Amino acid sequence: MARNPGVSLKTPAEQDLMRAVGRLTADVLDMIGPHVQPGVTTDELDGICHEFIVGRQDAIPAPLDYKGFPKSICTSINHVVCHGIPGDKRLRNGDIVNVDVTVIKDGFHGDSSRMFQVGKTALQAQRLCRIAHEAMWVGIRMVQPGVRLGDIGHAIQVHAETNGYSVVREFCGHGIGRGFHEDPQVLHYGTPGTGLVLEPGMTFTIEPMVNAGKRHVRILPDGWTVVTKDHSLSAQWEHTVLVTPQGFEVLTLGVEERPPSHPG
């Protein structure tokens, strides 16, 4: 706590609780993946996730009633950047959709999102999703004590922009723990050598939103849905990360991202 007032350092016991809720968050995304198909409504996906979190995980979907958000997950299709509200719209062949899941268990939050391809998607949509995924990992791989948030934001921005895309500025990653959105803000753009210095025990998300066109966004009259101003496609991935003495630990790895467990 000493060096960065307002930024909590998680104790080993708290880190264990963050690991547990991070796993639950990944489990929800692993579970919902096969349901993301042409013809399903985003309300149906929301209902399945809600039931899984509340009924099977005995946990709480953090978005529900968060500042008035009406659903348990966010579903952001095509030119929707983030905070899409599940509804009766059916997914169509060729759509790309971000599903963003935040779970609360034993007082701690896990937050992660992934892009899903609906049926057969265009190569340009696939490339955008791939570059956004790489941009997130470029940021994650830099995480270690002593690195500054500006170093991370800069690296993410460079990866997106050198590939011809833009990074949304209005929304960012965030500290996470007992709070859904804690300090610090984790910008996905920035200047090397600036910003908060990372310390072991910090937990935060990295969740770059990458647009195929210009970076500018607009909020729809529902007060939540964020869309690209130019209606270009947008993609986002999110993980919750712990700063360790050696580097980083990703707390929300899906089953396909985890190293195979070995006997003994």
Q: Which residues bind Co ion (CB under 5 A)?
A: 100, 111, 113, 205, 238
Rounded Cα gap, residues 2 and 201, in angstroms: 12
203 makes contact, choosing from ligand MF3, Co ion, none, with CB < 5 to 8 Å by partner type, with none
Q: Which stretch binds ligand MF3 (CB under 6 A): 49-57, 67-75, 150-158, 242-250?
A: 67-75
Rounded Cα gap, residues 32 and 46, in angstroms: 9
Contact between 74 and ligand MF3 (CB under 6 A)?
yes
83 closest CA partner among 1, 181, 14, 175: 181
Contact between 87 and ligand MF3 (CB under 6 A)?
no
Question: Least distance in Å: CB of 197 to Co ion?
Answer: 22
Contact between 63 and ligand MF3 (CB under 6 A)?
yes
Q: Which of 14, 27, 95, 100 is in the footprint of ligand MF3 by CB under 6 A?
A: 100
Q: Is the CB of 90 or the CB of 253 nearer to Co ion?
A: 253
Tell me whether the omega of the peptide bond preceding residue 184 falls within 30 degrees of 0, making it cis: yes
Cβ(109)–Cβ(102) below 8 Å: yes
222 closest CA partner among 43, 99, 71: 71
66 makes contact, choosing from Co ion, ligand MF3, none, with CB < 5 to 8 Å by partner type, with ligand MF3
Cβ(73)–Cβ(101) below 8 Å: yes
Question: Least distance in Å: CB of 109 to ligand MF3?
Answer: 9
List C-alpha distances in Å: 6 to 152, 182, 207: 20, 8, 21
* Chain contacts with ligand MF3 (rule: CB under 6 A): 63, 66-67, 69, 74, 83, 100, 102, 111, 207, 224, 238
